[in-house]
Structure 1
Amino acid sequence: MAILKVIEVLANSDKSWEDATKKAVAQASKSVKNIRSVYVNEQSAMVDNGEVSEFRVNVKITFEVK
């Protein structure tokens, strides 16, 4: 039986929500091992002068505790 833990991570990108998600996983993987999945819980964006300037995600990252 595997024991899994979930952490919540916030990340941003000036390119896309997908890029922000990848950044969240990359940053989390520096200190968390055995990442199994990522769930995008929430998306938002900042607008500057009528254009989207930043994409933000709130993700839940699941990893196995050994």
Structure 2
Amino acid sequence: MTASVARVTTITARSDTSFEDAVKAGVERSAKTLRNVSGAWVKDQKVELTDGVVTAWQVVLEVTFVLDD
């Protein structure tokens, strides 16, 4: 029987376009730095406003990656 161990790290990503774009950017950037990224959970979302208009979308992600043997 084989077992695996994973770790979770928190990251924040921001986009000038959308929440979806912020999530995509955060996950793709994580995968460049961390090996074996297996999933992500959107923990929090926030928008930035300028004069009542949304100007940026921000997400806090919990990124899961499996540790090497």
Is TM more than 0.5 here? yes
Give the count of matched residue pairs: 66
Match of 1:47 among 39, 46, 49: 49
Whole-angstrom CA distance in 1 between matches of 2:31 and 2:5: 18
Higher-Rg structure is: 2
Aligned identity (percent) is: 29
- Determine which structure has the larger strand proportion and give its number: 1
Gaps of 5+ in 1: none
TM-superposed CA distance for 1:33, in Å, is: 1.2
Q: How many Å apart are 1:54 and its aligned residue?
A: 0.2
TM-score (norm 2): 0.91
Instruction: Give ranges in structure 2 of 5+ residues lacking alignment.
Output: none
Please provide the CA RMSD for this pair.
0.6
Q: Which of 15, 26, 31 is the matching residue for 1:13?
A: 15
Moved over 4 A (4+): none
